[in-house]
Amino acid sequence: MKKLLLPACIACIAAIVLVFYSFTMRKPTGKNADTITVEGGKISGVKSTASDVTAFKGIPFAAPPVGELRWKAPQPVVPWSGIKQCDAFGPSPMQGTPRPFMVYTSEFLIPEQPISEDCLYLNVWTNAHKGAKHPVFLWIYGGGFSSGGTGVPIYDGEAMAKKGVIFVSANYRVGVFGFLAHPDLTKESPMHASGNYGLLDQIAALKWIKKNIAAFGGDPNNVTIDGQSAGSMSVNCLVASPAAHGLFNKAIAESGSFMVANPLIQSTTLETAEQQGVKFAASAHASGIEELRKMSAADLMKASGRFSPITDGYVLPKPVYQIFAEGAQNNVPVITGWNGDESFVMTFKKAAAYVEQIRKQFGADADEVLKYYPGNTDEEAARSQVRMSRDQTFAMSGFKWASLQSQQGKAPIYVYNFNRKLPATPDYVKYGAFHTGEVAYVMDDLKFLNRPWEAADQPLATLMSSYWVNFIKTGNPNGQGLPEWPKYNNATQQAMVFDAASGKQTLPNKDALKFMVDRVEAGK
User: What type of residue sits at position 445?
Assistant: D
Nearest to 22 by CA among 121, 150, 198: 150
CA distance 12 to 31: 44
CA atoms within 13 A on the CB side of 22: 29
Q: How many Cα atoms within 13 Å fall on the side-chain side of residue 427?
A: 7
Residues catalogued as catalytic: 229, 342, 435
- Please answer whether residues 1 and 104 qualify as being in contact, where contact means their C-beta atoms are separated by less than 8 angstroms: yes
119: Cβ–Cβ under 8 A, 6 or more apart, which residues?
64, 65, 90, 91, 92, 93, 94, 171, 173
* Rounded Cα gap, residues 23 and 349, in angstroms: 34
For residues 236 and 322, is the Cβ–Cβ distance under 8 A? no
What is the full DSSP assignment across 240-300?
A: H-GGGTTS-SEEEEES--S-S--TTT--EEHHHHHHHHHHHHHHTT-SSHHHHHHS-HHHH
Instruction: Estimate the share of the chain in helix, then strand, then coil, as percent rounded to the nearest 5.
Output: 35, 15, 45
User: Do the beta carbons of residue 24 and residue 105 sit within 8 Å?
Assistant: no
Classify residue 171 by burial, with Cβ atoms within 10 Å: 0-12, 13-18, 19+. buried
Q: Taking a C-beta distance cutoff of 8 angstroms, is the pair 206, 166 a contact? A: no
Residue 350: partners with Cβ closer than 8 Å, 6 or more residues away = 378, 381
The β-bridge partners of 60 are: 121
What whole-number distance in Å separates Cα of residue 9 and Cα of residue 317?
A: 26
CA nearest to 146, candidates 267, 44, 17: 17
HEC profile of 153-203: HHHCCHHHHHCCCEEEEECCCCHHHHHCCCHHHHHHCCCCCCCCHHHHHHH
- One-letter identity of residue 391: D
The b/e string for 40-57 (b: 16+ C-beta within 10 A; e otherwise) is bbebbbbbbeeeebbbbb
Distance in angstroms (rounded) separating the CA atoms of residues 22 and 120:
16
Q: Which residues, other chains included, contact 285 with Cβ-Cβ below 8 Å and sequence gap of 6+?
A: none
Q: Are 169 and 138 in contact (CB under 8 A)?
A: yes
377: amino acid identity, one letter: T
CA dihedral 445, 448, 452, 454 (to 10 degrees): 20
